[in-house]
Amino acid sequence: MKKILLDTNAFTALAYGNEKVREFLSQADKIYLPYVVVAELLYGFKKGNRETKNRAVLKAFEAKLEVTRIYATAETLEIYSEVFLELKNNGTPIPVNDVWIAACAIETGSVVVTFDKHFTNISKLRLWQKLK
């Protein structure tokens, strides 16, 4: 089973027609959309001028059978603390929301689709760029 987790910038790229993201997602049995990504998207929608249209795109995407919105669990909290500590000890901090995204991906055993290179600082993370 191929599990994929989308970062905010990957969802945005997909919404704008990025073929590489679309093709990679077409191979997935399960696509996870973390709560943090949804929150970042909603923020972006609100500050933009196409909120209604963007919400409709998100709703249609989440309606697909293979797409699941996920929330933090007790295990996510443990993983988050380990990842955050690893990054701090290595002197390679990343944005806090991205630590949450990474924790969700590690917990679900998913490959992260993102364009942010700082995710490579997390040793336990599987990234789509490394799979190409």
Whether residue 132 is predicted with pLDDT greater than 50 in this model: the reply is: no
Residue in the block written with tokens 């997390």 = 122
Q: What are phi and psi of 11, to 5 degrees?
A: -60, -45
For the CA atoms of 28, 32, 38, 44, the dihedral, rounded to the nearest 10 degrees, stands at -30
Residue 130 has pLDDT above 90, yes or no: no
Given a cut of 80, whether residue 113 has pLDDT beyond it is yes
Q: What is the mean pLDDT of residues 104-112?
A: 98
Q: What is the pTM of this model?
A: 0.93
Cα separation values, 119 from 7, 56, 76, 93, 109, Å = 10, 29, 17, 10, 15
CA distance 23 to 67: 15
Domain ranges in the chain are 3-131
Angle between helices 8-15 and 35-47 (to 10 degrees): 60
Could you read off the pLDDT of 40-75 as tens digits, one per residue? Answer: 999 999 999 999 999 999 999 999 999 999 999 999
**Top-tier CATH class for 3-131:** alpha beta
Does residue 87 register a pLDDT over 90? yes
